[in-house]
Each structure stands twice: as structure tokens, then as C-alpha cells.
Chains A and B, each alone.
Chain A
Amino acid sequence: MASKVDRNEVPTILKDVIHSINGPVVTVANTSSFRMMEMVHVGDAGLVGEVISVSSAATTMQVYENTTGLTIGQPVVGSGALLSVTLGPGIMKNIFDGIERPLPAMETQSGAFIATGLHVASLDEALQWDVTVKAAVGDTVKGGDIIATCPETPLIEHRSMVPPGLSGTVSWAAENGSYTITQPIIKLVDADGVEHEVCLAQRWPIKTPRPVVQREVIARPLVTGQRVIDALFPIAKGGTAAIPGGFGTGKTMTQHQLAKWSDADIVVYVGCGERGNEMTQVLEEFGELIDPKSNRPITDRTVLIANTSNMPVAAREASIYTGITLAEYYRDMGYDVALMADSTSRWAEALREISGRLEEMPAEEGFPAYLPSRLAGFYERAGTTLNLNGTSGSVSIIGAVSPQGSDFSEPVTQNTKRFVRCFLALDKALAYARHYPAINWNTSYSEYYEDLDPYYIQNVGKDWPTLRGRMLALLNEETSLQEIVKLIGTDVLPDGQKLTLEIARVIRTGFLQQNAYHADDTFVPLEKQLMMMRIIMYLHDKTHQLVEKEVPVSAMQAAGLFDKLVKMKYEIPNDHLELFDDYYKDIDTICSKLAAEHEDRPGGKTLQVVAGGKSGTTT
């Protein structure tokens, strides 16, 4: 209370100055001018920061830039707003840092090395957009209503909306034409008679989820073209997935494949505390890669947020929120958005680092006690939604996790598991054997089977869930058989089990393993995936009949029955699925031949020869 009197005596201008500096954490003593989570400008350079705790003694803020050179006594100025991003045309195809500053603009200002205290507008304010105005004078509009559209990239139509929370009657509307993001498009008068201008762009605080009418039931898969994901562990549009894996297991590679090939309308790729060269690779590769559906480079539908590991740690914390806010904004326009976060562990570590600087009581492994609630807050922003303007959209989140020491029992992996419904565990042993994607079929899971099976049954094939179930069962059987094989070798196994091992091998190498660098194999449509599963199971059934007739498995191997299917992923182009017929014929011919040869042999069991054909394959 006494401090209050003191403070009033000090002239306002001198009040808010830096009192202490510890890495990215700065405090201001004896002030009440700041609010929690308010965005502030720190020091003479005006570094961007955010208030993270307020007490009568000191206000603490984290600074999103390098604090080298800050001095005690330099001013701290509040912005009056929560840490927000600008949402408007110009986001697509761009690359931002963790607090939505465009990196190309920063390069123009400071060259190849990023300087501190750069002030650049998030979106180009001089660029003219070709706007079609959708609202007319006299219309009643509410938050979320689309008032104007413009082509943002050849792929994406940008739909500018009334900011949520605002509603009223349109009192003025601009003509169709060219406008910048700061020019008014409409004016509306709200219930209190106050006039508001609405532009193409709006601001939104990154830690507040954008409102929707309601969440809807998850019913569509996010088709990724990656067989192990689509067939065995599907991700849903509006769903959440985590990809944990030690270093070198291919997290980033898997994320890149999903960003390139998933059938989302928009991809937000957040490189959070990862390698600079990787972001450059994304920039280069995505720019060259042509989306087969639209014949346009996939950068046209991608926005990158790059906060590499040597950029300031506090901005790393913000980058995840910036990413999800951009994703929600495009969802509100009615798009299906996929957000890839690589890696959420770096984000959690940023939380830990800041928490340590604040001298908070650590919980597990030094992570703050609020880690689970932060993770939940992030993943819960995913979903399929009915938006305020009546459109429906979705945000799917796929987060990579980098567990310390590849130990999945560490806090980030464990807590993430509680909030995601699809878990794609990457496995070091598989990666060492260069089996990519190194998704372990024993430890991964997806809870979306029931939600998505109706879609697969209706749109792909009735037998999809059955085939998946049979494949998973075979793979699991193989795992337990391998335990025995490790002890005594394959020789002593009965033929039935040997066959299981062979079929499982076909599934592993011929189906699950997928070559990201092969033109046809990098993306496989669901139809081909289905055909591949069918033929593998067909082979399984046919060879089982042979085993019943006591044809040795070695004879089947020698006939090349299995090896042919292993290579079908390369031999059958995605647009020539009719070639599968030849494979069926081959299997039939070889199987009949083997059966016949075996019967001819003395001692061979006399059984009715099963004629080749796709029917009659019951087990």
C-alpha cells in the first residue's frame, strides 16, 4: 500500500523502466501499468515482449528477442493489447518468425544475419489486393461473416471476415477493386450506434482460441498417401496426432511428407526450435513441388513459421500459438487446415527455460507443473467446427515430440499422449535398418477407427477395416513369433508359422515401408493402398491353402511368390492399377503349379486341386 503513494509521486514517464535482466526475462519494479499477457516494447530498441506475471513488487516479462545490450533504466512501454497477430491476405506462401514477423522483410532490413529490434509489419501494407466485396449497405452482419474475398494465391481464395464480437448494420461498403489490408472495406453501425471500419485484415490475440458455433463430429480422414498412416493408424480431419521419436528416426521427414501430400486445403508448418537448414529445405523443396490436383507449387497453400533453435527462446514459445491462430483463421473461412508442429518438445523446453528463469518450483524433470495444461490448451484447439459464418472447417494438429534420450516415459511424451488420439511412435531399431517411415506398428495407435471406418467403407472399399484388422493381427503374431525365432531360429517352426513370418515380411517391406524419394511411392492414393492390402491378403489365403496341402514354404519362396509383391509398390504406377490383375494371375498360376507339382511327388497328399481364381479364399 505504501508503494502506491510513492508511485504517484514519480512522474508517469519515469515509472516503467527495466529493473532487472536475466537472459530473456526482464522485470519492471513497482508498477501497475501492465496487464497479464500484454504485449510490451522493451528498452530503447523496442524489443517485443510479453507480460508473464504481475505483482505489486514487480512485473515480469519475457522478451522475444536477444536481450544483449539492454540496460537497467531503459523504458518499457505497454501496447495495451494482448500479444496478437495480424490476420489478412498475404499470410499464404509467406515465412514468419515466432511472432509473425516476415523473414524475407527482415532479410531486406538486416541482411543474412537477424539483428535485434527490427520493426517490420507482419503483412505487406502497400500491396493491393483484387477485392470482391460481398456485403452491401443495409445488410446485417455479425462476427465471422464474410464481407470480401480476394485471390490470395492461385489456390486460395482469401475470405475477409467481420472480427468476432462485432455486429451491426452495414452503413457503407466499398466498390469492388484494389485495396490494401488497411483500407476500410465496409463500415458498420453497431447496436449502440457506434460506427466501426472493417478492413481486409484484423488482429487476434494468439493465446485466445477463435470462437466457433460448435464442434462437429469427426468423420473424414486426413488422407496422407502414407500407407502405414492411412491404412493402419489413420489421422482424422480435425483430429490430433503426435509423432514421437528420438533423433534420426525421421520425425521431420514424416512431417514433411504429411505437409507435402496430405489432402488439407491449407498447411501451417511450424518449425519450432529446429534446424535452420531444415527450414531452408522446406522453402526450396516445397517451392519446387507441384501439387498434382491443382498443378501449382504447394507453397501456394502453405505458410511457414520458422523459429530455429538459435533464435530467442521466448519466441519459440509463441511460435506454436502463432501457428494455431493462423490455422484457426483459415478454418473460419471454411478450409481444412493441417498444422504440423516440429517439435513440441522444443516448445515445452522453452516453457521450462522461462520457468527456470522465473525460479518457479519445477515439477517432473524440471518442467513446470503447468506443462500438461499448456499442452492440452494447444491440442484442444484442433477440431472440425461449424464456424460463425455457417461454413464448416477443420484444424488438424500433428505434433512431433523429441523425447529426451528416446525415452517415451518422459513428461512431454506422456502428457501429449493424454491429449492426442493418434500416436505414431517412431522406432530407433526400424530407423537403423532404414525402414522408413519408422513407425512402429506395435506401439502406435489410432483412436479414430470407429469415426473413420464409415468413410472408408463408403468411399474406398467395404473390406478396408477387415483388411486392416487382419494385417495388424498378422504383424502382432509375427512379433511374438520373432521372440521364438531369436532363441531357436526359423528352421524348427511349423510351416504355418513360417508362412506367417513370410507374409508379415511382405507387409513390412512391401506395404509399410515407403520410399519418399520414389516418384510413385512417395504418395499412394487410397485405391492403390486398398488393392495392395487385398492382394497381400489374397496371397496369404492362397499360400495357406498350399500349406494345408503340405507344400513347403521354401518352395513358395523359391517360386518368387513373396518377393514379387514386395516390389509391387514400385512396379505398379499409381495410375495403372489394372496391372494388379496380372499379379493375381501370377499368384494363381504359381500356386496351382506348386500344388500340382507337390501332388505328383510320391507321398504327396492327394487333394482336390483348387482352381485359380479370386473367389474361394476362405480361411
Chain B
Amino acid sequence: MAMEYLGLDEINGPLVVLDGVSGVANEEMVQLRTRTADGRDEMRLGRVVTLEGDRAVIQVFAGTTGLGLDKVNTRFTGKPMMLPLAEELLGRICNGAGEPIDGLGPLYSEEMRDVNGSPINPVSRTYPRNYIRTGISSIDTLITLIRGQKLPIFSGSGMSHNRLAAQIVRQARLGNEVGGFAIVFCAMGVTKDVADYFRRSFEESGALSRVVMFLNLSSDPIVERTLTPRCALTAAEYLAFEKGLHILVVMTDMTSYAEALREFSSSRGEIPGRKGYPGYLYSDLASLYERAGVIKGKPGSVTQLPILTMPNDDITHPVPDLTGYITEGQIVLDRFLDQTGIYPPVSVLPSLSRLMKDGIGEGYTRTDHQDVANQLFASYAKVSDARGLANVIGEEELSPTDRQYLEFGKAFEQHFLKQGQDVDRTIDESLDLGWRLLGILPRTELDRLDEKLLDEKFGPATGNEPPPQNILTPLPGGKAPKPKPDPHIDMGPEGPAT
């Protein structure tokens, strides 16, 4: 099947056109050999993207810089892009097209696989149920990461998404079963600094031998970027479903990936959709994200933690928007929290883990997990109302309940969200902290919790509750009563006495 053609007929951006070819298959891999200006022989990889009669359009991964119409030898390999795979991939560093760049020589492959993968049959999937403990209160309690889930981090330029991702990688533990755990790291269009930061962070935590890195840096060819996540996910699928490992795939930055796709699409002259992104952006992103999961009868799992920077912090931008429709929730970072020094700056309300409800609670985390999470969400949602009101009429004029919400909001952000980079909290610690925070609010406001659960945590309802405040009576001097002690993290285990 391998056929060679001499010369090209057209070069346009990352695309080259060849006329007079025959027997070429759609999506076939192509090798282009050329001699550079300084006389070296060079080979670039490409892929057939359109076929029309005897005309083939080829996308060149390393870009077309330096190519001329003559003196290019084009060889059709007859196969789609294949990635060599072996368990020895762990600990290696590859470029965006899957070739080792760590100077340790080529990989002795056990198997070659098409990087495009195939869709997992929904019948063959197992619904993901077991959680991954990240040691971060806000994520473990409210946006629990489940094995086999795809849970992106929506961030913005300059925010601490990389630190957060590195911390998750460092602290991630499998919920309650033992099993091999490994990381596939996929960098798309990130700076050298960021790539180095991750490498150092893996090294410091001693995880480097359990990590495969695929690096397409911001200075690398943009077309190669469309290949990088496919290589990474092919490696992940192999390690998970053939070698039985639990794989966490960290992909950063998906916005760069989508931009590469847009550049490539416009050079093909395709009709653009929203903001110039191609109409098939949804399908294309789905072909990546949907490669997470757990398969019946196979021990491993692929969990994805894609990171994307929202241009202008706009969550309705096509990339976060379409991502949110495919992934099973999202962790949204908030610039205001970030600037007020709260790390990790997780914006709780728009964040969500869709698979959480089935992977927590009895048998996984703790029986009261879902209830605490619901109540924290609902109460924190009211905090922003109270804050809005306080902005208009001033804190002094607020009703006592609203003031308690303000207090709760502050404590929630300072003690629950805020967490050191090296602080690894267990589920129990995080949940107990949640209970203590809820103690700031009057019991009648805890409408998502069962009476029984409340009795258990705060004692029976009658008698020792704070007297109900009369919202009609203006408070003397407009001074807020101090109904509860300061809910510092060091409070007694019983919570605030009431």
C-alpha cells in the first residue's frame, strides 16, 4: 500500500495538496521527506484530511515552514496514525505526536494503536461509582471526583489552576480500594514554565515514574496540538484497560487545543460556527472527553481532569460552554476569590460533579455526605443574596438571619475553601468542618437536613435553640447580636454550643 509521490501541488498554511494520487485512504498517515536549507534530511508526519477524485489534502503536523513544492517526497503509509504502546511508557516524556523526547531512546512497543480510538459501547460501560480523594475540602465534599469521570477545571489566565491540578495529582488517593494509580499528563500549547512546573511537582512528590508526559508547548507546531490529546488518551486507555491501572489524565490547556482546531479549520476554508470555531467543535471535543470511563470486566479506569482557561473569564465562551455540555460537571475557579487570597479559589455555586451522588455516602464516603453537601450549597447560595442586600442597604440594616448568613459566608470561604497547598484533609475532616460551619446558622434555616440528622448533630430541637428573632423589631442601635462563637477551625468537636 505504501506509495511515494514526488513534489507537491499546493501549500496553504498547515495543509499541502497533492494531485494525481490514487488508492489513498481517508485519515491515512503520510510521511513527507525533505531536505532542509542547511542540507539535513528531515521527515515530517501528516494526515489525509480531504479526498476529492485524485486530489488529496494533507495536514502536516510539524507545519509547512521550509517546505517547497519540489523536492518533497510524499509517502502514504496506508495506515491511520498509530501510537506504539507498552507499560514502559510510564516515566517517559514524549512530544505532542507521541515520540519520546527524553533521550532514553525509542519505546519497544507491545502494541500499536490508532490514536483516534473507537467509541466505547454504552452497553459495555460500568457506571462510575467510586470516588477519588483529592484531600481538598471543597472538591471532596461538594464536587467529588469519581473514578471514570471527566471533570474539567474552568479557570482563567493568571489563576491558580496549575497549582490546584498539581495538588490534586500529588494528593489523589483511590477511595477505598487499592489498585495501581498512574498519571497521563498532556500539555497543549502551555509555556515551558508550566510544563517544567508540573514536571518538578511530579518529581518532588516522587510520582515521576508513574507519569507519562505528552508535551506540545506553545512554541511547538500548532497542528501537532490536535494530535496530542489523542496520543495521551490512547496511552491512557491502553494502561487502564490492558494493564489494569487507574489513570488520571490531566489535560491543559483545552482552550489552546480548540484554538489550534480553529486555525486548522479556517485554513481549510470551512464555514465557521460561533466565534470562528468550526461547526464540529462539539463532536471533536466529545471524541476526546468521551474517552473517559470504566469498562465492564476490566480492572482499570480513565479519569479526566482537563483544564481550560476561559477567555475573558467568560463561561459562555464556546470552549467552556461545549465542554460543560459533554463533561460530567465542572470545577469553576473564581477570580475574586483568587484575588482575596483564597486558595483554591473554587467557586462553589457554578461547580458541579454529576456523578457525585452515586459515588458518595454509605459504603464510599460517609452516610451524611450528600445531606451536608446539599445544605452547604443551599446555604452558601443565600450568602450572595445577603451580600447583595448588604451592598445596598449596608450591613447594619440587615436582619439578624441575613447577618448570620454573612458570617457563615465569611467562615465558609476562610476555613472551608481556603486550604494550604500541602494540606491534605480526609473526608471526615472535611465533612466535620462542614457541620461546624452549618452550626453558625439558625436551625430553621437548615431546610435540606432531616430532623433526625439535626438532632444527632445539634441535639434535640426543643429548649436549647436560640430564641427566634423578631425580624420586625429593629435591633437596638442597629448592632448585630453575636449569637454564636466564632466558628474557627479549632472549635470543639461538638460544634458551637447553643
Contact B397 A103 (CB under 8 A): no
Nearest B residue to A360, CB-CB: B271
Q: How far apart are the CA atoms of A218 and B463 in the complex, in Å?
A: 56
Q: Which chain B residues numbered 282 to 333 have a C-beta less than 8 Å away from chain A?
A: 282-283, 286-287, 289-291, 293, 295-296, 298, 316-318, 321-322, 324-326, 328-330
Given A69-B27, A353-B283: A404 in contact with B123 (beta carbons within 8 A) = no
Contact A73 B282 (CB under 8 A): no
- Specify which of A275, A281, A487, A555 is in contact with B392 (CB 8 Å cutoff): A487
Nearest A residue to B124, CB-CB: A112
- Specify which of A113, A405, A517 is in contact with B316 (CB 8 Å cutoff): A405
Contact B444 A69 (CB under 8 A): no
Q: Which residues of A contact B50 (CB under 8 A)?
A: 20-22
1/0 per residue, CB under 8 A from B, across A238-280: the answer is 0000000011100000000000000000000001010111011
Interface centre among B290, B329, B474 (most CB of A within 10 A): B290
Q: Is A283 an interface residue, CB under 8 A from the partner?
A: yes
Q: How far apart are the CA atoms of A563 and B443 in the complex, in Å?
A: 11
Q: Which residues of A contact B358 (CB under 8 A)?
A: 281
Stretch at the interface among A488-496, A519-527, A604-612: A488-496
Contact B51 A21 (CB under 8 A): yes
- Specify which of A113, A280, A554 is in contact with B472 (CB 8 Å cutoff): A554
Q: Is A309 an interface residue, CB under 8 A from the partner?
A: yes
Given A356-B270, A366-B279, A509-B447: A277 in contact with B128 (beta carbons within 8 A) = yes
Q: Which residues of B contact A280 (CB under 8 A)?
A: 122-123, 125-127
Contact A310 B274 (CB under 8 A): no
Q: Is B388 an interface residue, CB under 8 A from the partner?
A: yes
Q: Which residues of A contact B121 (CB under 8 A)?
A: 103, 106-107, 110-114
Q: How far apart are the CA atoms of A292 and B290 in the complex, in Å?
A: 35
Q: Is A486 an interface residue, CB under 8 A from the partner?
A: yes
Contact A283 B122 (CB under 8 A): yes
Given A69-B80, A103-B121, A280-B126: A486 in contact with B392 (beta carbons within 8 A) = yes
Q: How far is the CB of B245 from chain A (nearest CB, A)?
A: 17
Q: Is A217 an interface residue, CB under 8 A from the partner?
A: no
1/0 per residue, CB under 8 A from B, across A412-453: the answer is 000000000000000010001110000000000000000000
Contact B349 A309 (CB under 8 A): no
- Specify which of A23, A72, A110, A356 is in contact with B22 (CB 8 Å cutoff): A72
1/0 per residue, CB under 8 A from A, across B461-498: the answer is 00000001111111000000000000000000000000
Contact A353 B280 (CB under 8 A): yes
Q: Which residues of A contact B24 (CB under 8 A)?
A: 71-72
Nearest B residue to A495, CB-CB: B472
Contact B53 A29 (CB under 8 A): yes
Q: Is A313 an interface residue, CB under 8 A from the partner?
A: yes
Q: Is A346 an interface residue, CB under 8 A from the partner?
A: yes
- Specify which of A277, A487, A489, A517 is in contact with B293 (CB 8 Å cutoff): A277
Q: Which chain A residues numbered 63 to 98 have a C-beta less than 8 Å away from chain B?
A: 66-73, 95
Q: How far apart are the CA atoms of A313 and B121 in the complex, in Å?
A: 15
- Specify which of A359, A404, A405, A433 is in contact with B381 (CB 8 Å cutoff): A433
Given A308-B290, A434-B374, A434-B381: A21 in contact with B26 (beta carbons within 8 A) = yes
Contact B393 A489 (CB under 8 A): yes
Interface centre among A72, A116, A356 (most CB of B within 10 A): A72
Nearest B residue to A116, CB-CB: B118
Q: How far is the CB of A60 from chain B (nearest CB, A)?
A: 12
Interface centre among B54, B119, B378, B397 (most CB of A within 10 A): B119
Contact A366 B272 (CB under 8 A): yes
Nearest A residue to B314, CB-CB: A405
Q: Which residues of B contact A69 (CB under 8 A)?
A: 25-28, 80
Q: Which residues of A contact B402 (CB under 8 A)?
A: 489
Q: Is B184 an interface residue, CB under 8 A from the partner?
A: no
Interface centre among B241, B278, B381, B448 (most CB of A within 10 A): B381
- Specify which of A72, A365, A405 is in contact with B273 (CB 8 Å cutoff): A365
Q: Is A362 an interface residue, CB under 8 A from the partner?
A: yes
Q: How far is the CB of A175 from chain B (nearest CB, A)?
A: 37
Q: Is A115 an interface residue, CB under 8 A from the partner?
A: yes
Contact B26 A309 (CB under 8 A): no
Contact A352 B26 (CB under 8 A): no
Q: Which residues of B contact A406 (CB under 8 A)?
A: 316, 321
Q: How far is the CB of A596 from chain B (nearest CB, A)?
A: 19
Contact A247 B399 (CB under 8 A): no
Contact B471 A554 (CB under 8 A): yes
Nearest A residue to B54, CB-CB: A72
Given A277-B293, A280-B125, A433-B377: A68 in contact with B148 (beta carbons within 8 A) = no
- Specify which of B148, B286, B448, B474 is in contact with A309 (CB 8 Å cutoff): B286
Give the interface size bracket for B toward A. 35 or more
Given A114-B119, A248-B352: A552 in contact with B274 (beta carbons within 8 A) = no
Q: Which residues of A contact B149 (CB under 8 A)?
A: 277
Contact B271 A112 (CB under 8 A): no
Q: Which residues of B contact A123 (CB under 8 A)?
A: none
Q: Which residues of B contact A103 (CB under 8 A)?
A: 121-123
Q: Is B459 an interface residue, CB under 8 A from the partner?
A: no
Contact A490 B378 (CB under 8 A): no
Nearest A residue to B291, CB-CB: A310
Contact B293 A68 (CB under 8 A): no
Q: How far is the CB of B393 from chain A (nearest CB, A)?
A: 5
Nearest B residue to A407, CB-CB: B316
Q: Which residues of B contact A22 (CB under 8 A)?
A: 50-52
Q: Which residues of B contact A353 (CB under 8 A)?
A: 279-280, 283
Q: Is A328 an interface residue, CB under 8 A from the partner?
A: no
Q: Is A468 an interface residue, CB under 8 A from the partner?
A: no
Q: How far apart are the CA atoms of A111 and B297 in the complex, in Å?
A: 11
Given A70-B26, A103-B122, A432-B381: A248 in contact with B316 (beta carbons within 8 A) = no
Q: How far is the CB of B238 from chain A (nearest CB, A)?
A: 12
Q: How far is the CB of A289 from chain B (nearest CB, A)?
A: 14
Contact B274 A489 (CB under 8 A): no
1/0 per residue, CB under 8 A from A, across B388-411: the answer is 110011000111001000000000
Q: Is B180 an interface residue, CB under 8 A from the partner?
A: no
Contact A489 B298 (CB under 8 A): no
Contact A434 B377 (CB under 8 A): yes
- Specify which of B279, B317, B392 is in contact with A352 (CB 8 Å cutoff): B279
Q: How far apart are the CA atoms of A554 and B290 in the complex, in Å?
A: 53
Q: Which residues of A contact B321 (CB under 8 A)?
A: 247, 404-406
Q: Which residues of A contact B120 (CB under 8 A)?
A: 112-114, 276
Q: How far apart are the CA atoms of A375 and B274 in the complex, in Å?
A: 21
Contact A275 B326 (CB under 8 A): yes
Q: Is B457 an interface residue, CB under 8 A from the partner?
A: no
Interface centre among A112, A281, A352 (most CB of B within 10 A): A112
Q: Which residues of B contact A365 (CB under 8 A)?
A: 273-274
Q: Which residues of A contact B7 (CB under 8 A)?
A: none
Taking beta carbons and an 8 Å cutoff, which residues of A are in contact with B?
19-23, 29, 66-73, 95, 103-104, 106-107, 110-116, 246-248, 271, 273, 275-277, 279-281, 283-284, 306, 308-311, 313, 346, 349, 352-353, 355-356, 359, 362, 365-366, 402, 404-407, 428, 432-434, 485-491, 509, 517, 552-555, 557-558, 563, 566-567, 570
20 A–B contact pairs at CB < 8 A? A69-B28, A72-B23, A73-B22, A113-B117, A248-B350, A276-B119, A277-B148, A309-B290, A309-B326, A349-B283, A353-B283, A355-B279, A365-B273, A366-B274, A404-B274, A434-B378, A486-B392, A488-B393, A552-B472, A557-B471
What are the 10 tightest A-B residue pairs by CB atom distance, in nearest-first order? A405-B316, A309-B286, A20-B52, A247-B324, A310-B290, A433-B381, A112-B124, A113-B118, A279-B122, A280-B125
- Not counting A404-B322, A486-B388, a sample of 14 additional A-B residue pairs whose C-beta atoms are within 8 angstroms of each other reads A21-B52, A66-B118, A69-B26, A70-B26, A71-B51, A73-B22, A273-B283, A276-B120, A280-B125, A309-B287, A349-B283, A366-B273, A428-B350, A489-B393
Taking beta carbons and an 8 Å cutoff, which residues of B are in contact with A?
22-28, 50-54, 80, 114, 116-128, 148-149, 241, 270-274, 278-280, 282-283, 286-287, 289-291, 293, 295-296, 298, 316-318, 321-322, 324-326, 328-330, 349-350, 352, 354-355, 357-358, 370, 374, 377-378, 381-382, 388-389, 392-393, 397-399, 402, 444, 447-448, 450-451, 468-474
